[in-house]
Amino acid sequence: MITSPTIDDLLEGLILALDADIMPSLGDSPKAQASAQMMQSLLQGIRQLLPEYEACLVREHNEMNAALRSAAAELRGIDAPEADRMRARADGIASEPDLPAPLEKETIRAAHRLRSAAVRDCMYDLDVLQRDGIAEADASLDVLRAMLTPHYLNYMSTFPIQGGMLGRG
Amino acid sequence: MEEQLAAAMYAVFKESDGVEISGLKALPGGFSRETFMFDAAVRSGSDTTDLPMILRKDPPASVAILETSRQVEHDLLEALRATTGIPVSRSFCAEMDPAVFGERAMLIERMPGNGRTSDLFNDGPDRDQVDDVVRHLCEILVELHTSNIEAIDPDGALRDPRGVGIDPATWDSYMDTTFEYYIDTYPSVEYDPVLLTMLDSFLWLRRNKPRPMPLSIVHGDFNPANFLYADGRVTALIDWENTRIGDPREDLGWMVLMDVLSNTQVMAHPVADGGFLAYYNQLRGLDITPEELGYFTLFGTANIAVPVNAALARRTRKEQTEFLHLYMLQSSAPALMSFLTLLGYPGVPA
């Protein structure tokens, strides 16, 4: 999976392109100008939402768990079907374990880059061994290639590449 | 801009009474040059000659993908017109003073014909012409590859047009110095580990050098979007900025990849002659094999991949903010899959 440019870089690129390539050509159409500005605003919102999104969902999930249990506890001694349902929720869904906090995206990215650099350096080393006629190096390179294949297949199926030739004949 | 265009055209047609410019508009398409169309009316007495024209302009240096010279391209087009029957635009002038058009530029004839070559394929409206057009395209490529290098490149401008140390003195020196260029450049273009397979391919190319073949002038971007056609004939081969001396199999290999990426089937035609490679072999009396074609698909792709990914790397490092370079992330991604296939990665679907 690609780590650079980041998703934030891509979104920022779209905001800049709207400014540089689209808005100057919209002429004096106030509606089109306003729409372009709305797109920029929405894209900026997504940029700010994305880094927080998963951590926020996890934090809110865990806080809801705790609150559901506390809210039911406040009804201790109350004899009513509504209170029973509150206690059932506290003992049921709210008693499930909290979700683990997701790793920071930058931490994951840095760790990924470190291993990628190691794979790259192995390719250089294997190339020397292969040119020296060491047959085992072929098998070793195949191990790395077999590991990389699903990574590329996943990237290609996740990133929409079909539109990559727009603007050409 | 119209004023500068009129002045540039008048400098070419000094004997005329004046040149008027109309219909100037930007064209989409080329990834590396800014292209505009316009019409020039050259007045001489009561006569007016209308010339359909193209302005090809360098992008600002900071966002250039290929650092090539418009003067070299101008000289090349005029040499091709003078010494071959290859249909190319007449080049009227190269303006190397960036003050005139904002950047260096050239003024060329706008050739007739349909540039939407996808019309020829996939049940497109011109599918009945495809065999004739591709047969002619193949004949043109053969003419280019068998043309006299000294006649087309008397000053040696096409020997190493990027100035990266390529030595085409012999086939071996050409290949070896090109491997060095690819491999030495890799660290500066590696914007992301997703390019690992490109490094793998560069190293593999060096380890698996094929049999030699006489070097020739190669188009350098021979792909389904770089020709125009009409009535079953190619009316122009366009976009000559990456032309250089190289192995002729590079043009064939690059077409193989671009055929896949463009969802066209140039290589499958002319059907009656067994497809593009078979017809090329027949015309040249060669026996280029599918394996060699695979090798030069990687080799030819590397030639374009280096500057494209260098531009992407500069954009990723935010040295510039050109949107097109970000978009190239999408354009170049499918090429990575071709690397996997051609290198025989385990587990790649057929």
Q: Provide the 3-class DSSP secondary structure of residue B265.
A: coil
Element (H, E) at B8: helix B2-12
Give the integer Cα–Cα distance in Å for A57 and A36: 30
Nearest-neighbour CA in chain B from A62: distance (Å): 35
Domain pair B2-109 / B117-343, same fold: no
User: If we measure between CA atoms, which residue out of B312, B242, B241 comes closest to residue A164?
Assistant: B312
CB count in 10 Å sphere of residue B317 = 11
Higher pLDDT pick, A31 / B137: B137
Q: Which amino acid is at B256?
A: V
Calculate the alpha carbon distances from B251 to B132, B259, B306, B313 in Å: 20, 12, 16, 26
Residue A169 has pLDDT above 60, yes or no: no
Q: Quick one: pLDDT band at residue A31, thresholds 50, 70, 90?
A: confident
Which residues in chain B touch residue A9, judged by CB atoms under 8 angstroms apart? 316, 318, 326
Encoded tokens for B236: 């122009």
**Which residue out of B25, B122, B192 would a mutagenesis test of the A interface target, given it has the greatest number of A Cβ atoms within 10 Å?**
B192
Give the integer Cα–Cα distance in Å for A4 and B203: 23
* B225/A164 touch (CB, cutoff 8 Å), yes or no: no
Contacts of residue A79, Cβ cutoff 8 Å, sequence gap at least 6? none
DSSP string, B129-142: GHHHHHHHHHHHHH
Give the integer Cα–Cα distance in Å for A58 and B334: 35
Which residue shows structure tokens 């292209």? B35
Nearest-neighbour CA in chain A from B234: distance (Å): 14
Extract the residue ranges of chain B whose pLDDT is less than 50.
Answer: none
| Mean pLDDT score of chain A | 91
User: If we measure between CA atoms, which residue out of B158, B281, B267 comes closest to residue B222?
Assistant: B267
Per DSSP, helices labelled H in B146-289 are: 149-152, 171-189, 196-207, 249-262, 276-284
Give pLDDT, residue B321: 85
Give the integer Cα–Cα distance in Å for B202 and B196: 10
Contacts of residue B46, Cβ cutoff 8 Å, sequence gap at least 6? none
Q: Give the end-to-end CA distance of chain A in Å, rounded to a whole number.
A: 30
A107-134 pLDDT, tens digit per residue, is 999 999 999 999 999 999 999 999 999 9
* A169/B115 touch (CB, cutoff 8 Å), yes or no: yes
Strands B216-218 and B227-230: unpaired
Give pLDDT, residue B326: 84
Nearest-neighbour CA in chain B from A128: distance (Å): 9
User: If we measure between CA atoms, which residue out of B190, B253, B277, B84 comes closest to residue A119?
Assistant: B190
Is the domain B2-109 a CATH 3.30.390.10 member?
no
* A156/B115 touch (CB, cutoff 8 Å), yes or no: no
The answer to whether the CB of B90 falls within 8 A of the CB of B108 is yes
Total beta-carbon pairs less than 8 A apart between chain A and chain B: 120
Give pLDDT, residue A8: 92
Element (H, E) at A95: none
The answer to whether the CB of A4 falls within 8 A of the CB of B316 is yes
Domain ranges of chain A: 103-159
DSSP string, B290-332: HHHHHHHHHHHHHHHHHHHHHHHHHHHTTS---HHHHHHHHHH
Give pLDDT, residue B32: 65
Q: What is the value of ipTM here, to two decimals?
A: 0.81
Domain ranges of chain B: 2-109, 117-343
Give pLDDT, residue A165: 61
Higher pLDDT pick, B274 / A104: B274
Is the domain B117-343 a CATH 3.90.1200.10 member?
yes
Q: Which DSSP category does A2 fall into?
A: -
User: If we measure between CA atoms, which residue out of B290, B346, B53, B191 comes closest to residue A3?
Assistant: B191
Q: Provide the 3-class DSSP secondary structure of residue A111.
A: helix
